[in-house]
Chain A
Amino acid sequence: MMRRTIPTLIAVALLGFYLFPIYWMYATSFKTLTEAVQYPPTLWPSEPQFHHAEVFQKFSVARYFVNSIVITLGVTAITVVVGTGTAYALALRRNLFVDLILFTILLLQALPASLMVTPLFVLFNMAGLLNTPRFAVVLAVAAKSLPFFIVICRTAFLQIPRELRDAALVDGNSNVGVFFNIALPLARNSIVVTAVLIAIQTMGEYVYSRSFIAKIELQPLTLGLSNFIGAQQTDWIGIMTFASILVTPILIVFIFLQRRIISGLTAGALK
């Protein structure tokens, strides 16, 4: 009895620890300003308020949201299209050259965004890309997320037995056909999962957007959120309401894809 209870208690405690900030964000978003800053804090809003519609309109959340979606879709599309092809090519052959490429890819990923942002700003400025700042952010973030995508998807392609490709070639397919008919369907789960993880990460992207996007009309949600923090005062209710609007769609996507994400992580049982 004890042997099962204690691990369960630990698991519940850890889960609570992880989920509490999310709960706090949602709870605060329903509080009045006075209740939000009162000490000791209340765990549950005593007089629940709905600021959400008001905040949504007043702070043009829709516009920020569209910008975030544009950037996220752009990054995910570029990463998936370029990354899947690259990962497949790098999975087909094993030699010193491929190892060198993989090493370089991993090395590039290790550079933090805060380090890359200045040289990229200069580069994009010279190239005139800052006239289309969301596209500049898409390029920068895609470049950053590609290595992760390539490494994960290459592993997925490597798990496909060579004989499956051979069988398809003998059965009458071309190399391109084998990629689309055999390799892609079998690596689909890994590709979807990695793409979702990258999309979620991009929704939270801040550094490049902050530096490249000056026009407020083109800024994504993360920048909108930071606008609440003023020099004199911080609108905690606004922040929490805004944040809960930002997080909710991500959580919904996660819940819907949860089954697939888990099966993607355990995929590979090809035999």
Chain B
Amino acid sequence: MNQVELSAVEKHYGEYHALRNIDLSIPEGAFVALIGPSGCGKSTLLRSIAGLEQISSGTISIAGERVNDVPPRRRDVAMVFQSYALYPHMDVERNMTYSLRLRRRSADLIAAAVREAAATLNLSGLLGRYPRELSGGQRQRVAMGRAIVRHPKVFLFDEPLSNLDAELRVKMRGEVRALHERLGATSIYVTHDQIEAMTMADHIVVLKAGRIEQQGPPLALYDRPANRFVAGFIGSPSINFIEGAVTADGGHVTWEGLERPLSLGRRLSAAQRVQIGLRPEHLAVATDGTMAMVVDTIERTGSQTIILGRCGGQPMTVIDHGRPVLARGDNLRLAVAPDHIHLFDPDSGAAV
């Protein structure tokens, strides 16, 4: 059974159309990431599921029950906020037990729940502290603790890691995912960081301007982006886009300045204009490559070399996993496999 089900959800703020025809089914135990640029509606969608926003039309169901008119407190969802939203006037223990105390659970049950959550999150020594006495990472863990003591039907995460420094963020990414594996509860995770989404989620929903652009397993989105937007949003460094056209025989694609057309390995209608998408990691530096590239900048990270330059007059980023000896102005040859060439309609942006 689907734990969370959204159908034809719309949200208007006056003139502003925040969510457009959102259909989403989230099976029990799934970890779903909602991603998109700021203002795409991902937080609004999450807040609508929590009941903090009223949707304008459509239905939201949790565990088979229509919850459109159910207030947040009766939806049995827990939420972790970007700012953590810890109650400043309560210590860690009272922060974590607030929801249980509101539900008038027995003292034994509350104590056991706190002990368990504190042990899981390494908070046992901090239960008497106030939020202002904690570091950013500790606050984040208390916010998680406040959610897990409840054993809710659904966990909602609103960019919970974006206030942490880079190192801690990577560590917590793993911990949140491990926690999800252990608790097995349905989780919906909002982020603007596609790496977070790719590494943590079973299912990614890409939103733009209130509309779902594409949804599916992370690798499906990476391998078969439905449109130009998804292709550009997923992958880092981002995909290279070049304005080009299919050749007269329909089996190749080319752009002005490219000496030899690239073979597609499939037939398309001849001479149509397309946008060509080539991921930096799919471009290989090879002496027998068909594309000539002039190097502008080289960035070395140790594990890989990012080469920025121009290929047939178009800017191009290439990732090489070796340590090639290169300098500005050098000439390279690049090769790409036919099934790594993404094509998009230049007007609609849809994949061709």
Chain A: residues with CB nearer than 8 A to chain B?
A: 161, 163-164, 166-174, 177, 182, 185-186, 269-271
Q: Is the CB of A174 within 8 A of B73?
A: yes
Q: How far is the CA of A271 from the CA of B50 in the complex (A)?
A: 23
Q: How far is the CA of A98 from the CA of B83 in the complex (A)?
A: 27
Q: How far is the CA of A50 from the CA of B42 in the complex (A)?
A: 75
In the assembled complex, B229 has its CB within 8 A of some CB on chain A: no
Measured CB to CB, the closest approach of chain A to B161, in angstroms, equals: 16
Task: Select the residue from B72, B146, B156 with max chain A CB neighbours within 10 A.
Answer: B72
Instruction: Give me 18 other A-B pairs in contact (C-beta within 8 A), A163-B83, A167-B79 excluded.
Output: A161-B85, A163-B82, A166-B50, A166-B52, A166-B85, A167-B85, A167-B87, A168-B87, A168-B98, A169-B51, A169-B72, A170-B73, A170-B78, A171-B146, A172-B99, A172-B102, A186-B88, A271-B83
In the assembled complex, B64 has its CB within 8 A of some CB on chain A: no
Q: List 15 A-B contacts (CB under 8 A).
A: A164-B85, A166-B50, A166-B79, A167-B85, A169-B51, A169-B52, A169-B72, A170-B51, A171-B73, A171-B99, A173-B73, A173-B102, A174-B71, A177-B102, A271-B132
Interfacial chain A residues near B239, Cβ < 8 Å? none
Q: Which 6 A-B residue pairs are closest in the complex by CB-CB distance?
A: A163-B85, A167-B85, A171-B99, A172-B102, A172-B73, A169-B72
Q: How far is the CA of A186 from the CA of B86 in the complex (A)?
A: 12
Q: How far is the CA of A63 from the CA of B71 in the complex (A)?
A: 53
In the assembled complex, B222 has its CB within 8 A of some CB on chain A: no
Q: How far is the CA of A172 from the CA of B150 in the complex (A)?
A: 10
In the assembled complex, B171 has its CB within 8 A of some CB on chain A: no
In the assembled complex, B266 has its CB within 8 A of some CB on chain A: no
Q: Is the CB of B79 within 8 A of A170?
A: yes
> Contact check: which of A167, A185, A271 meets B81 at CB < 8 Å?
A167
Interfacial chain B residues near A182, Cβ < 8 Å? 87
B72-126 interface with A by 8 A CB criterion: 72-73, 75, 77-79, 81-83, 85, 87-89, 98-99, 102-103
Q: How far is the CA of A163 from the CA of B139 in the complex (A)?
A: 15
Q: Is the CB of A163 within 8 A of B81?
A: yes
Q: Is the CB of B71 within 8 A of A164?
A: no
Measured CB to CB, the closest approach of chain B to A175, in angstroms, equals: 8
Q: Is the CB of A172 within 8 A of B103?
A: yes
Measured CB to CB, the closest approach of chain A to B89, in angstroms, equals: 5
Interfacial chain A residues near B98, Cβ < 8 Å? 168, 171
Q: How far is the CA of A270 from the CA of B47 in the complex (A)?
A: 23
If A161-B83, A163-B81, A163-B83 touch, whether A170 touches B88 (CB-CB below 8 Å) is: no
Q: Is the CB of A170 within 8 A of B89?
A: no
Interfacial chain A residues near B71, Cβ < 8 Å? 169, 174
Interfacial chain A residues near B72, Cβ < 8 Å? 166, 169-170
Interfacial chain A residues near B85, Cβ < 8 Å? 161, 163-164, 166-167
Q: Is the CB of B77 within 8 A of A170?
A: yes
If A161-B83, A171-B98, A172-B103 touch, whether A186 touches B89 (CB-CB below 8 Å) is: yes
Interfacial chain B residues near A271, Cβ < 8 Å? 83, 88, 132
Interfacial chain B residues near A173, Cβ < 8 Å? 73, 102
Q: How far is the CA of A164 from the CA of B146 in the complex (A)?
A: 13
Q: Is the CB of A171 within 8 A of B102?
A: yes
Interfacial chain B residues near A166, Cβ < 8 Å? 47, 50, 52, 72, 79, 81, 85
Q: Is the CB of A164 within 8 A of B87?
A: yes
Q: Is the CB of B88 within 8 A of A270?
A: yes
Q: How far is the CA of A171 from the CA of B85 in the complex (A)?
A: 11
Measured CB to CB, the closest approach of chain A to B12, in angstroms, equals: 16
Task: Select the residue from A167, A174, A269 with max chain B CB neighbours within 10 A.
Answer: A167
Measured CB to CB, the closest approach of chain A to B240, in angstroms, equals: 39
Task: Select the residue from A169, A174, A177 with max chain B CB neighbours within 10 A.
Answer: A169
Which residue from chain B places its CB closest to the CB of A270 in the assembled complex? B88
Q: How far is the CA of A161 from the CA of B156 in the complex (A)?
A: 19
Q: How far is the CA of A218 from the CA of B47 in the complex (A)?
A: 57
Q: How far is the CA of A173 from the CA of B99 in the complex (A)?
A: 8
Measured CB to CB, the closest approach of chain B to A133, in angstroms, equals: 42
Which residue from chain B places its CB closest to the CB of A174 in the assembled complex? B73
Q: How far is the CA of A166 from the CA of B87 in the complex (A)?
A: 11
If A163-B83, A182-B87 touch, whether A169 touches B132 (CB-CB below 8 Å) is: no
